[in-house]
Amino acid sequence: AQSVTQLDSHVSVSEGTPVLLRCNYSSSYSPSLFWYVQHPNKGLQLLLKYTSAATLVKGINGFEAEFKKSETSFHLTKPSAHMSDAAEYFCVVTLGAGNKLTFGGGTRVLVKP
């Protein structure tokens, strides 16, 4: 069994300040983890993924995430928020290629000018 918990349903940041989106997972086996972003009425775009290689994963648009097995966490960060980062972010876990995805509840990011 697997599950994902995104600890914040909403995050509000000022433009130019750091962003932290928290994600904890539960999995019986070594999981693969993803972060996706969704803009209103759009599909999902992959930001980055962890699949048992380097624990610090760099993604697109300046985002990165660190897989911490001891803490069962996969938090997403960005050093400087941009207005275009305002969107919904999903942390996702799967047991491996071909397996179904389990989504966290999502975190809505608001960026203030």
Partner 1 sequence: GAVVSQHPSWVICKSGTSVKIECRSLDFQATTMFWYRQFPKQSLMLMATSNEGSKATYEQGVEKDKFLINHASLTLSTLTVTSAHPEDSSFYICSAILPTGDDYGYTFGSGTRLTVV
Residues in the site for partner 1, rule: CB under 8 A? 32, 34, 36, 41-46, 49, 51, 90, 97-98, 100-106, 108
Other Cβ atoms within 10 Å of 17 Cβ, number = 12
Mapped onto helix, strand or coil, the DSSP state of residue 95 is: coil
Smallest separation (angstroms) from partner 1 to the CB of 22: 15
Nearer to partner 1, 35 or 85 (CB): 35
Kindly tell me which of 16 and 54 has the beta carbon lying closer to partner 1. 54
- Neighbouring CB atoms inside 10 A of 33's CB total 22
User: Residue 90 Cβ, how far from partner 1 at the closest point, in Å?
Assistant: 7
Minimum distance from CB of 16 to partner 1 (Å)? 27
Query: Which CB sits closer to partner 1, 15 or 49?
Result: 49
State which residue, 32 or 73, has the beta carbon closest to partner 1. Answer: 32
HEC per residue, 3-47: EEEECCCEEEEECCCCEEECEEEEECCCCEEEEEEECCCCCEEEE
CA distance 78 to 44: 19
